[in-house]
Each structure stands twice: as structure tokens, then as C-alpha cells.
Structure 1
Amino acid sequence: MSRMVDYYNQFDEWGRLDREPIEFKVNWHYMKKHLPSSGHILDNGAGPGKYAMALAHEGYDVTLTDITAKLVQVAEEKADELNLLGQFNGFHSADARHLHMIEDEQFDASLMLGPLYHLQEEKDRNQALSELHRVTKLGGIIFVAFMPRIRHILTSLLSPEHWRPNNEIDNILHFTQTGRFNHSDEGRFTGAYYFEIEEIQPFMEQSGFETLELIGSNPGSILSDEQWTYWRDKGDNEINKIIELIKERAADPYILGLSSHLLYIGKKK
């Protein structure tokens, strides 16, 4: 976990969502569809708080946690900068597996948009879900992010030197069996776990959640920078149409494997 924390200490996660706005816009579209009209929301593994700020701006009471203390500090500074501090009930540096500072059934909805794909051991993923279940109210809505294994297999084949050690086919074949990825290069995205898509729904349901939807947050990530430039050069109207198309098709099960991130939406039973 220390390598993961080191990575996020130097990585601009807020900027990533600005540079890749479709992921945020698609997730936010589906969150608004399922969120209660008001209430107390947990953003667990929030990073610098991009979603937490949007929730606070909508009038929700928000509690924010992340394992990286620097990002928790950034989130609190962002809330202050945006005059949203009054909507927050706390900023906590905390491991998603151990939310000891939070009592049972506190939240009308809970987000966990990062921790699961940094927990390579099954027991740790189960513990994080157990904690999410514990702190969410009965009937509360949960939003959990996953990364699909098939997409990383294809990404490794397309850009092998960018994803070493997956520049060797035997390493890719090993990854297909384990779902675990540890980058060979220091300072790169590492310590990750990628799910088989068909595993996600039963994994969540065995942890006490009822499935509502599973969507592809960003199937547009299959397009290269050059291809996105082509569409951007046609103007904002064209880009907006593309975003609406992706929102419309995000819940299509046939598109899930193309997306770099998936969003599971469920309800605590």
C-alpha cells in the first residue's frame, strides 16, 4: 500500500478528472439518477474530493475519507476555496478497510470509487466492502468503482512498453489469471487489481447489496488523443453529443469491457 500512497502523493488526480471529463460526467449523471434528494453521504477513498465537492455543492452533508493524508488535506483546502466547508462533517485520513472513526449506519449513500482496485488480496476487498456495508443505512445507495480485466489486457497489447512488465506475453497471460498488476517502473500506477466483469455483481451481492446498475464510466477512453482532437476540432456541440451518446449507452452490457472504469450501483439490503 505504501507504493500506492507514494503514487497518489505525486499524481494529480483532480487534474486527471479534468483531463478526462467524460468519466466524471457519466458517473455524475448516474449518481444523480439514484441518489436520495438529501442526506448524509460518505465519499470513501475520495482522493482530492472531486465528487465530494459536487455532492456538497448540491446540498448534501458529506464525510470524506482517503488513505493518502496529502489528498485529504487537498480536499479540505478545496472545500474552503469553494466555500463548501459547512457541508462537510469531517475529513479523515483512513484506510477503507478500517473506518473505525465512523459509527454504524450513518450514511444515506456511500461512494467507494478507488479502494477496491488497490486491494490485491480478496480478504482485504471483502473487509472494505464489509465496512462500506456497516456504515451505510439500510436501503442506502452505494456507488463502487471497478477496473475491468479485459480492458487492461487489451491496453497492454496496444501499448506494451507503457505497461511493463506486460510487454511480455507470458506476463499478460499471468495477469489474465490473477488480475493483479504491479508496474515494473517506479512511480507508475501499481498495486492494482482488475475484476472479471462477470464477477462483480455476485461479489457485491454476497456482501449484502442489491444490484441496481453496472455501467461503463468511460468507454470513450478507447479513443486516442489524436482521435479526440479530431472531434474537439469540430466544436463543443459535437463533443456534447458524444458525451450524451456515452451516457445513453453506458449501461449497455456489451460496452463494459471497453471502459477503463466501471461503476456499480447498488442498495444495502
Structure 2
Amino acid sequence: MTLVGHYDTETTENTRLVRSPHGRLEFLRTQELVRRAIPATGQRVLDVGGATGVHARWLAADGHSVHVVDPVATHVAEAAGVEGGTAEIGDARALTWPDNSADVVLLMGPLYHLTESGDRQRALAEARRVLRPGGILFAAAISRYLSALESGTNGQLTEQVSPAVRAVIDTGGYDGHVGFVPAHFHTADELRDELETAGLSGISEYGVEGPAWPALDVAGIEEFDARVDAALRCARLVEQDPLLINASAHFLAVALT
């Protein structure tokens, strides 16, 4: 199934970051890391691959002007309803915004949905093009170790699944073996290399969820409130630790033009 076809039939995108414990943790940490890096209000934000506007909503509520670009028409229709935001159908590799026109660009999905290295480089080049000098890019990626940590913790790492998990660790090529569409999973070093190749500077990388996220999922949603503060503290303690950053489900790179 194509990416657009998947999301045309996927009805839970709007709740992806609230329906599971690790999704809730990801959402809280993403908000925390973005807010830490940008001015409190008044930024022109281009949310590329912004889906239904999950991040656009809170950014607009913070007082930023947010424009969502997404290839899925149903996503764009919903994102267009975000108060203080706008939306259009588009492609991360060919943005319609002019040069030097955004203060902030979010790439929260394109770098794992674009499975070819050349396509990821085109998306990064476009993000750099539309950012003003001194603008900030946020680029998210999925860790190559997500499948191993998730399936090894929830009991689903069977002998049959193990070769596919080994393959994604070795190559980054994810085949959909624990759900989701085929994608590219990164290491933290690989993500940094791609941003450097694109000419971005001042790069900082963060493990988003930290190493406690699989335990949150096993504990269940009913235990989330009791455990989330400890998980957040754990994530902050090791967010840039080179020995533990790959244990997060996602990375967030922050870079400057």
C-alpha cells in the first residue's frame, strides 16, 4: 500500500500521540523540546508532513502562525480547521514556500516515510531553502532499535520475527513487521550525518522518549499518570547520552540554517 493509501484508510492518525503510553510520552517530550528551542510566540512555522495538525494545534495556541503541508487530502482538510493555521496538499521534496520565508520548519514525519536517501536529502534541502538565515529546523526520525525494544518487551519477538528485526537494525529498512508502512529507521549518527550533508549547522540531537518507554507500554494506559513523571525525568537525564540515545523510539534533531 502507498503512503497516501495507508493514511487515507488509517482512521487513528489524529489520536496516534494519545492512544498509547509511549505515544503520550512522545507528544509531551516533543512539545518540551520544541518549546525549549524557539521563541515563545510569533514564529512563522511550516509543519511539513504535519498530518491532521496535531502539532499545529498547540503551536498555534502558543501564538505562532502555522502552515501544514501534507500529501494526504483528508489530513489537510482537518489541519485547515486549526484555529490560527492554514494547510495545503504538498510534498516535502518540493515546497511551495519562497526562499527565506519561515522561522521554523518541522519535519516530524518525512525523514522516515522517505525510504530513499536521495529523497530525504531533497526534503532537507527544501527545508533549508525556505528557512530564513538563523531559522530552526526540527527533524524527527525513528530509531532502528524500536522494533527490538518493543517486541522484546511485549513478548512479540518470535523466532519468525527476529530476522526482520535484525534487518532493520543492520540496514534501517523497515518492512512493516510490527505494523505501520515500510519506512526508514535511523541511528542517531545517521540522522546527524544526513543533516550535515544537507548543509545544516549547530545540530543537537535528542532521544525523545528515553529508555523507559517500552515499560510504560507494558504497564498500560491506566498506569500512565502514575509513571509518566519518572519516565520524563529519565528521558531528560539521558536525552543526549551517546550510549542511550538510540534506546528512544524517536530522535529529534534541532539544526540551524
Q: Same fold (TM over 0.5)?
A: yes
CA RMSD after TM alignment: 2.6
Residues 261/61 of structure 1: CA separation in 2 closer, same or farther (3 Å cut)? same
73, 76, 97: which one pairs with 1:72? 76
Cα distance in structure 1, aligned partners of 2:183 and 2:153: 19
The yes-or-no answer on 1:113 pairing with 2:108 is yes
Q: Residues of 2 paired with 1:153 and 1:240: CA distance?
A: 25
Tell me which residue corresponds to 1:136.
131
Structure 2 partner of 1:39 = 43
Distance apart, 1:208 and its partner CA = 1.4
CA contact (8 A) 1:29 1:247 kept: no
1:254 Cα deviation from its structure 2 partner: 2.9
Looking at structure 2, the residues matched to 216 and 252 of structure 1 have their Cα atoms a distance apart, in angstroms, of 8
Aligned residues: 251
Using the alignment, how far apart are the partners of 1:30 and 1:206 within structure 2?
23
| Structure 2 gaps, min length 5 | none
Query: Which residue type is aligned with residue 227 of structure 1?
Result: A
In structure 2, relative to structure 1, the CA distance for the partners of 1:160 and 1:115 (3 Å cut) is farther
**Counterpart Cα distance in 2 of 1:35 and 1:209:** 17
- Is the Cα–Cα contact under 8 Å of residues 119 and 191 in structure 1 kept in the other structure? no
Q: Aligned with 1:53: secondary structure?
A: helix
C-alpha offsets along residues 80-117 of structure 1, whole Å, 9 cap, x if unaligned?
xxxx2xx22x3111111111x21111101110000110
Distance 2:177 2:186 in 1: 21
Could you say if the C-alpha distance between residues 173 and 250 of structure 1 is closer, same or farther in structure 2, counting changes exceeding 3 Å? closer
SS at match of 1:252: coil
Query: 1-side partners of 2:124 and 2:71: how far apart?
Result: 16
1:5-38 alpha-carbon deviations (Å, 9 max, x no partner)? 2222214122111222211111111111111342
Any conservation in 2 of the 1:48–1:74 contact (CA below 8 Å)? yes
SS of equivalent residue, structure 1 residue 254: coil
Give the residue type in structure 1 aligned to 2:109. G
Task: Label 1:119 to 1:240 Cα distance change in 2 as closer, same or farther (>3 A).
Answer: same
Which one of the candidate residues 12, 25, 29 is aligned to 2:28?
A: 25
| Structure 2 residue 181 is the aligned partner of structure 1 residue 182 | no
- Distance in structure 2 (CA, Å) of the matches to 1:27 and 1:145: 9
- Does residue 56 of the first structure (1) align with residue 71 of the second (2)? no
Question: Quick one: structure 1 residues 136 and 162, their matched pair in 2 at CA, closer, same or farther if it must change by over 3 Å?
Answer: farther
Aligned CA distance change for structure 1 residues 27 and 168 (closer, same or farther; 3 Å): closer
TM-score by length of 1: 0.83
How far is 1:238 from its partner? 5.4
Instruction: Out of 90-99 and 138-147, give the one that drifted further.
Output: 90-99
Instruction: Name the % identity.
Output: 26
More off after superposition, 215-224 vs 153-162: 153-162
Q: 2:49–2:69: 8 Å Cα contact kept in structure 1?
A: yes
The CA deviation string for residues 49-103 of structure 1, in whole angstroms up to 9 with x for no partner, is: 11111111111111111111111112123x1xxxx2xx22x3111111111x211
Runs of 4+ off more than 6 Å: none
Change (3 A) 1:98 1:253: same
